Amino acid sequence: MDDQLAQARQYAAAGMTALGKSDGAQANAAFLKAIELGWPGSDVWITLSIAKSLLGDMPGRLSALEKALEIDPSSARANLHYGQALVGAGRNADAKVAFGRGLEAFAILATRSAEMEQLAHAARDFLGDSAPSTLHPLDKFADEHGVRGDEEDELFKLSLDILAGRAQPFTSRPTRYYYPGLPDRQFHPASQFAWTDTLAARTPEIRAELQALLQRQKEETTRFSPYVESGGREGSGVSHPLLDNPEWSAFYLIKQGQPIEENIAQCPRTHAAIKAIGEDAEPAPAPSVLFSLLKPGASIPPHHGMLNTRLICHLPIILPGQCSLRVGNDTREWKDGEVFIFDDTIEHEAWNRSEQPRYILIFEIWRPELSHRQRNLVTKLFSTFGGPTDKT
């Protein structure tokens, strides 16, 4: 990763933290430094405008938003913020135009944050009867037929988003082995797996083991190592932006099917919690169980997993906030006690935009659609011809 952009990202993260504390001066300085170092996109200018507002610098706020719109004229967020700034400057006629553009863009957003909902509500209040509709016809259909975002309607809702052009189809693209006929589902509902509640309930004892492990790490008796290593199969023959980079690191209990006994001895309850799941948590060819560390400001770029006969499971252990995982169209923030189960052969990425490290317990399970015979055949295939040779 380019060092300058890495520094820019750190300044942007620091600016967001300062905004959370309503520290306009610190946020303003951090965002300006991030921009100077080349942090891309319009959002950094929008957040700079918020810092300017905290400082009472209304001309600066307008100028920052005009720069955001120069970069992305169709940004709903920039237009709605700009409308509010124009109202504050007494330029109501210009504000109506900005609010109108913002609401039209808001109507086709695939996801709507609380901030965006509040901005749109304020814009509609200002425009009154002249406000454009923010309800997409397919959203109206969904409302009329009671389509919700819960497990039962999740895939149908995604089909509407794809039809509306707000999302795109993401399909399984394993880098090593493809088993035909398995559904392309981004996240799998945790409620469909009998063991998830029991595992989530053991989070406090797993966290206690990790915290003890981290204390020993300070005393240099144990170490996390880069997840993508040039010295192991993960790095063989591949180029990866996080190759040998400690920003994304791992502490393995089981690595590529091989137990690391000295590490298991330090985390026996964690190991027992995964073993309690049974054979489902032992997919061929060489499953791993590990604590994954993502350092402050770090991100894992979009990539695909090796084989689609397994799913990846995440149990959050230490969460500083502002940490998310995107799989295909679906971006979710990790929450304490919530197990994520997803298909890593669908394009995915992750990031930590906080100022503290994030720790996740990661392990693998068989795809539930595979029968005992199908699992047995896949296992024999890999034992006969060898398994995949990299894990990026």
pLDDT, one tens digit per residue, over 288-319 is 999 999 999 899 999 999 999 999 999 999 99
233 pLDDT higher than 60 = no
pLDDT value of residue 132: 65
Structure tokens of 385? 């011809």
Q: How much of the chain is helix, strand and coil, in % rounded to 5?
A: 45, 15, 40
Mind listing the domains of the chain with CATH numbers? Answer: 3-137 (1.25.40.10), 190-385 (2.60.120.330)
pLDDT, one tens digit per residue, over 193-230 is 999 999 999 999 999 999 999 988 776 655 888 887 76
Structure tokens of 149? 């975002």
Ramachandran class of 206: left when φ > 0, alpha when ψ lies in -120 to 50, beta otherwise: alpha
- Higher per-residue pLDDT: 131 or 312: 312
Amino acid residing at 283: P
Backbone CA torsion sign across 322, 327, 328, 333: negative
Buried b (16+ CB within 10 A) or exposed e, 230-248: eeebbbeeeebebeebebb
pLDDT value of residue 219: 63
Cα Rg for the chain, rounded, in angstroms? 24
Q: For tokens 């169980």, name the residue.
A: 289
Q: What is the pTM of this model?
A: 0.67
| 3-state secondary structure at position 47 | helix
- Where is 144: in which H helix or E strand? helix 137-144
Q: How far is CA 239 from CA 176, 230, 299, 340, in A?
A: 16, 9, 16, 28
CB-CB contact of 27 with 57 (8 Å): no
